[in-house]
């Protein structure tokens, strides 16, 4: 694999990016209270820098921790059991054990999909998609673990891995690859960096991807993205994605096949060294965001909500806010979206948001920079 990537942007610009990730450079004033929210907040469990979670059919949870631990957690949060079988991860910077998602037929095939960052023999790094078969007993494990997809190429650095996973209603697998703070790869047709990818459930590129005939990597579904930290299908089958902008310009996008979302040619944020990036409106040939934030929210996880317990929010998107230390609601109307609520979460960075089996909203605190790393359950007041 190549050790370097030709860049249209000067190397000094990378130095201006905080090596620990956008959430530092984008920090905003901390929130202090959840008293004004329409939901009650109940702490359920504590973790060490959790990154993602998913629910098993019986209400238990799988939770990933950044350093490389997968935990099987009881529905009440009182029991946390390590699940063996996770490969070694590279957890420096923004790296680590990342997303975890069940196969749509988990009840019968017991397959668990997860992402993590790794280093190769040359010390270059990339994000990996893997799967294993869940086996339980006294010592739960993932068996027959296979790496089924690797980002291409591996590069230097520890930023913008992305690594979010979502299954489409038709069973196809979507996987996000960040542009790794290298800018140009988001527009490079041969690379998977800065892209939304569409795969079969075995990790091979799915047939019918719209850009393969134009010379793109055969897995590419959309391109021109930055750091894609949330992806979710709504009940109508629309694919939504959120990503961190540079200095400003966080986005929620409706992902459409074959579209170019413009980064780094356009963004409503600026480079960290203060240089301007042309706004989206200057280049109408690029697909524009549906919602945009400046000042930023530093978006973490993304969830499309069913409305079971909070019917007024049926179909809306929920985002975990890192530097904004908030839970953010995006009001969705078909294929359009607009800003909804932004609730402070007591000065805690929110990494992940999921819907529980009964419609409760669950959030994971990031566990970094003063955040406690708790799992919280949100219920109507």
State the Cα–Cα distance between residues 163 and 116, nearest whole angstrom: 7
Tell me which residue of 217, 218, 216 sits closest to 208, measured CA to CA.
218
Options 6, 103, 160, 271, the catalytic residue: 160
DSSP per-residue string spanning 181-205: T-SGGGG-TT--TTEEEEE-TTSSB
**207 contacts 198 by C-beta, under 8 angstroms:** no
Q: How far apart are CA 187 and CA 193, in angstroms?
A: 9
Helices (H), the chain: 11-16, 22-25, 106-109
DSSP 3-state assignment of 342? strand
The first and second tokens of residue 143, run together, are 């068996």
CB 317 within 8 A of CB 353: no
Indicate if 160 belongs to the active site. yes
Residues 49, 367 contacting (CB under 8 angstroms): yes
What span, in angstroms and rounded, lies between the C-alpha atoms of 112 and 264? 34
Tokens 């993602």 identify what position? 52
Q: Are 380 and 312 in contact (CB under 8 A)?
A: no
Distance of CA 182 to the CA centre of its chain: 18
**C-alpha span between 335 and 338 (Å, rounded):** 11
The first and second tokens of residue 351, run together, are: 């990494």
Helices (H), 42-167: 106-109
Contact call for residues 229 and 255 (beta carbons, < 8 A): no
193 strand-pairing partners = none
Q: What is the DSSP letter of 96?
A: S
What residues are annotated to the active site? 160
């Amino acid at each position: 694999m190549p050790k370097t990537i030709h860049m249209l942007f000067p190397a000094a610009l990378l130095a201006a990016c905080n090596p620990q990730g956008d959430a530092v450079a984008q920090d905003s004033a901390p929130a202090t209270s959840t008293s004004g929210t329409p939901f009650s907040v109940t702490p359920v469990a504590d973790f060490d820098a959790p990154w993602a979670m998913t629910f098993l059919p019986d209400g238990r949870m799988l939770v990933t921790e950044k350093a490389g631990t997968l935990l099987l957690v009881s529905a009440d949060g009182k029991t946390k059991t390590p699940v063996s079988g996770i490969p070694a991860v590279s957890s420096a910077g923004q790296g680590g054990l990342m997303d975890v998602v069940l196969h749509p037929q988990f009840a019968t095939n017991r397959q668990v999909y997860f992402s993590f960052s790794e280093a190769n023999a040359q010390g270059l790094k990339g994000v990996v998609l893997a799967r294993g078969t869940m086996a339980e007993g006294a010592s739960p494990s993932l068996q027959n673990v296979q790496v089924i997809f690797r980002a291409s190429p591996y590069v230097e650095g520890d930023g913008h891995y992305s690594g979010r996973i979502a299954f489409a209603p038709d069973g196809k697998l979507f996987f996000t690859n960040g542009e790794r703070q290298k800018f140009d790869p988001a527009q490079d047709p041969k690379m998977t960096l800065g892209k939304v990818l569409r795969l079969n459930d075995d990790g091979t590129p799915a047939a019918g991807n719209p850009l393969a005939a134009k010379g793109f990597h055969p897995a590419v579904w959309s391109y021109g993205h930055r750091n894609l930290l949330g992806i979710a299908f709504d009940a109508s089958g629309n694919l939504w994605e959120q990503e961190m902008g540079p200095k400003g310009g966080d986005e929620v996008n409706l992902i459409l096949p074959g579209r170019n979302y413009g980064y780094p040619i356009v963004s409503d944020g600026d480079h960290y060294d203060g240089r301007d990036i042309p706004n989206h409106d200057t280049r109408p040939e690029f697909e524009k965001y549906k919602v945009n934030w400046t000042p930023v929210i530093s978006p973490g996880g993304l969830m499309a909500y069913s409305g079971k317990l909070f019917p007024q929010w049926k179909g809306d998107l929920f985002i975990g806010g890192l530097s904004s230390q908030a839970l953010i609601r995006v009001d969705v109307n078909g294929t359009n979206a607009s800003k909804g609520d932004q609730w402070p979460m007591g000065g805690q960075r929110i990494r992940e948001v999921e819907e529980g089996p009964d419609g409760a909203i669950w959030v994971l605190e990031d566990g970094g920079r003063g955040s406690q790393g708790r799992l919280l359950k949100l219920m109507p007041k």
